[in-house]
Chain A
Amino acid sequence: MLPHSKTDKPKTAPLPELVFNLIVLSLAFTSGFIIMSIELMGGRILAPYFGSSIYVWGSIITIFMLSLSIGYLYGGRLSVNNPHLGRYGLFFIAAAITLIPTIVWSNAMMDWVFVRLEDPRYGSLAASTLLFFVPTAILGMIAPYSVRLLVAHAAHSGQIAGRLYFISTLGSALGTLATSFYLVLWFEVDVILMTMSAVLATGGITAIITHASQRT
């Protein structure tokens, strides 16, 4: 029995569907925003070691697409059994935590790659993998899981998926714009990434608390 199915409702504390949907959608928006913000920061992080040529961007985009695709697959897989807001929140916490090594040890990791790979194309590809694969894959798990959480509350799955893509991609668009136009002008790279990590953690905790209060 799914916890969020209609029949289950009376047992849990009443959480209006609208509020539930708002939480999921705003978290999906946030993850969309942060994915693109991190991707743009990737260009900044790699430039001192590999330059900022087209192949550096190629490496970053490749790794982001690849890790997102794997995240989608795995997130969709996890959404099959007993999906709930608590586990959803854990994805955000995990993304927040796995982002920290990227911030703290980025230079150490790139130093390591730099002395081993002379060609900046493969150097930037390897560095992107080390720096971004894990957090981005985890962020990729959020989208399909969001769809599943929302679909538990409505029958129109296609429409729900469309709304979810809309909101998370809108987040990505705004994340790209905000980061490249303004954030880099105001803040240091690490400050931006730390903030992203903190926002993810806060989002995750909110989801977990909501889930917990719903069960009692």
Chain B
Amino acid sequence: MILRTAILVMLMLASATTVAIEIHQEKSLYRNIVVREADNRRCLLFTVKRGDRNQTCMDLQDPKRLVFHYVRMAFGGLLLKPDPGRILIVGLGGGSIPTALAELYPDATIDVVEIDEAVVRVARQYFNFAESKNLKVKVSDARVFIKRALLQRQTYDLIMLDAFTGDYIPEHLMTQEFLQESRDLLSMDGILVANTFSTSALYDHESETYQAVFGDYLNFKLPASGNRVIIAARQGLPSDFEIKSQAIKFAERLRPYGIDARDYPDHMSREKDWNRTRRILTDQYSPANLLRGED
């Protein structure tokens, strides 16, 4: 009797909400990885407790479309560097960014650095991520990778930092020294794009740190997204007019990914909207995770 009632309740619940099916789960060296499917979306989640953050989602009916704002926003950097020949992406996730970039730029060399081997496996198996001649993944700490790349005198036209899962920040990837190394790795007209935070005391500290390394940069925020994307240039930013005309030129190519590029330039701000008296983060002082807890 109790069992029957329980089944009935479960069925009622099932019909009321879409049931998420867990299709994969594993504990890696760095995190819990879960792949879940619901509403025709397949999502990659890290750290399932505490608010279930989706890392990447793939639209199963339209795999090309980028589901999340922040993922699409990362492409805003292309308005400043429309033809990158060498691209470095830090943080693989479900692989949607490198896959889209490889499609947009079939001739570009794309290197992805991901610290967690398990994430690479999951991206391959569940998110159609595939390496190719021009698209390579290296399992490594990003700081170590960038230091080695500098020693080998490599350069990149576009660097995308997407290493923050939302729950834990690798603190050595948010310091002045790290950003300086990343900047040194850029080609002379290279662009760095960082998908990062828009709240807490960390916003001020991080903003000030970027300012110290790059000078003025673009703070890209969309009203619908809780993230912000920093777009910084090795030498000087183009004018608003140049960015806008690039957006118009580029809009068609980006549309299949769900990116509305025409809308982007209006949300890229040069204003220094943070508390400028905050300490910058350095290798000597980098309590980023503690600062995130402060207002």
A169-195 residues with Cβ-Cβ distance < 8 A to B are 184-185, 187-191
Interface string of B72-85 (1 = CB under 8 A from A): 00000000000000
The answer to whether A190 touches B171 (Cβ under 8 A) is no
Binds A, one of B56-64, B218-226, B229-237, B279-287: B279-287
Instruction: Take A47-B172, A48-B177, A53-B29 as given contacts and tell me if A120 and B286 are in contact as well, using a CB distance cutoff of 8 Å.
Output: no
- CA–CA, A48 and B283, complex, Å: 7
Is A114 positioned at the interface, with any CB of B under 8 Å from its CB? yes
The answer to whether A49 touches B285 (Cβ under 8 A) is no
Is A215 positioned at the interface, with any CB of B under 8 Å from its CB? no
The answer to whether B141 touches A185 (Cβ under 8 A) is no
Residues of B within 8 A of A114 (CB): 147
| Size of interface on A: residues with Cβ below 8 Å to B | 20
Instruction: Take A48-B178, A50-B144, A51-B144 as given contacts and tell me if A188 and B170 are in contact as well, using a CB distance cutoff of 8 Å.
Output: no
Is B115 positioned at the interface, with any CB of A under 8 Å from its CB? yes
Is A54 positioned at the interface, with any CB of B under 8 Å from its CB? yes
The answer to whether A51 touches B172 (Cβ under 8 A) is yes
Is B290 positioned at the interface, with any CB of A under 8 Å from its CB? yes
| Size of interface on B: residues with Cβ below 8 Å to A | 24
Is A82 positioned at the interface, with any CB of B under 8 Å from its CB? no
B253-295 residues with Cβ-Cβ distance < 8 A to A are 282-287, 290-291
- Looking at chain A's contact residues, is the secondary structure mostly helix, strand, loop, or mixed? helix
The answer to whether B115 touches A48 (Cβ under 8 A) is no
A140-168 residues with Cβ-Cβ distance < 8 A to B are none
- CA–CA, A49 and B172, complex, Å: 9
The tally of CB-CB contacts under 8 A between chains A and B is: 56
The answer to whether B283 touches A52 (Cβ under 8 A) is no
- CA–CA, A123 and B102, complex, Å: 33
Residues of B within 8 A of A189 (CB): 283-285
Residues of A within 8 A of B291 (CB): 185
Which of A48, A52, A54, A189 gathers most chain B CB within 10 Å?
A48
CB distance from A64 to the nearest CB of B (A): 20
Instruction: Take A48-B172, A188-B282 as given contacts and tell me if A54 and B287 are in contact as well, using a CB distance cutoff of 8 Å.
Output: no
CB distance from A183 to the nearest CB of B (A): 10
Residues of B within 8 A of A190 (CB): 284
- CA–CA, A150 and B286, complex, Å: 41
The answer to whether B143 touches A51 (Cβ under 8 A) is yes
- Looking at chain B's contact residues, is the secondary structure mostly helix, strand, loop, or mixed? loop
Residues of A within 8 A of B29 (CB): 53-54
Residue of A nearest to B283 (CB): A48
The answer to whether A120 touches B144 (Cβ under 8 A) is yes
- CA–CA, A115 and B170, complex, Å: 23
CB distance from B234 to the nearest CB of A (A): 21
The answer to whether B285 touches A52 (Cβ under 8 A) is no
Is B1 positioned at the interface, with any CB of A under 8 Å from its CB? no
The answer to whether A185 touches B147 (Cβ under 8 A) is no
Residues of A within 8 A of B286 (CB): 44, 184
- CA–CA, A50 and B142, complex, Å: 10
The answer to whether B284 touches A115 (Cβ under 8 A) is no
The answer to whether B287 touches A185 (Cβ under 8 A) is yes
Which of A53, A114, A115, A118 gathers most chain B CB within 10 Å?
A53
CB distance from B175 to the nearest CB of A (A): 8
Residues of A within 8 A of B12 (CB): none
Instruction: Take A120-B144, A188-B282 as given contacts and tell me if A52 and B172 are in contact as well, using a CB distance cutoff of 8 Å.
Output: yes
CB distance from B64 to the nearest CB of A (A): 33
The answer to whether A120 touches B151 (Cβ under 8 A) is no
Interface string of A26-52 (1 = CB under 8 A from B): 000000000000000000100111111
By Cβ-Cβ distance, the 6 closest A-B pairs, closest first, are A51-B141, A188-B284, A47-B172, A185-B287, A189-B284, A184-B287
Apart from A50-B141, A53-B115, A184-B287, 9 more pairs, CB < 8 Å: A47-B172, A49-B144, A52-B172, A53-B29, A53-B30, A114-B147, A115-B151, A190-B284, A191-B284
Show 18 A/B contacts (Cβ-Cβ < 8 Å), sorted by A.
A44-B283, A44-B286, A47-B171, A48-B175, A50-B144, A51-B115, A51-B170, A51-B172, A52-B141, A53-B141, A54-B29, A114-B147, A184-B285, A184-B286, A185-B287, A188-B284, A189-B285, A190-B284
